[in-house]
Amino acid sequence: MPSVPNPVIPARTVSIKDFRALGDGKMLVTTAFAIAIAAGAAAGRRAERRRQNMVAQPRDAG
């Protein structure tokens, strides 16, 4: 069976407060978590598209 390489996970941090969570223990932050997760997923898709575009583009030999 072929070896499966481990995924490369970029070191990124996100503050849930950047997505309007107060962190006061009173306000529900479900929506803030959902938005933060969606933003992270979108950033990952953009990074993957950039990586694929770099691989697909031939390098200039000159």
Residue 52 lies in a domain: yes
Distance CA 43, CA 13 (A): 12
What does the pLDDT look like over 7-47, one tens digit per residue?
Answer: 887 787 888 899 989 888 898 999 999 999 998 888 888 88
Angle, alpha carbons 46-49-12 (nearest 5°): 40
Per the domain annotation, does 20 fall within a domain?
no
- Band of residue 60 on the pLDDT scale cut at 50, 70, 90: low
Ramachandran assignment for 28, one of left (phi > 0), alpha (psi -120 to 50 degrees), beta (any other)? beta
**Structural domain contains residue 39:** yes
Residue 2: inside a domain, yes or no? no
Asked if the structure places residue 21 within a domain, the reply is no
Tell me the pTM. 0.60
Look at residue 15 and tell me if it is in a domain.
no
Among 6, 7, 9, 28, smallest CA distance to 19 is for 28
Residue with token string 């950039």: 50
Give residue 43's domain range.
Answer: 30-56
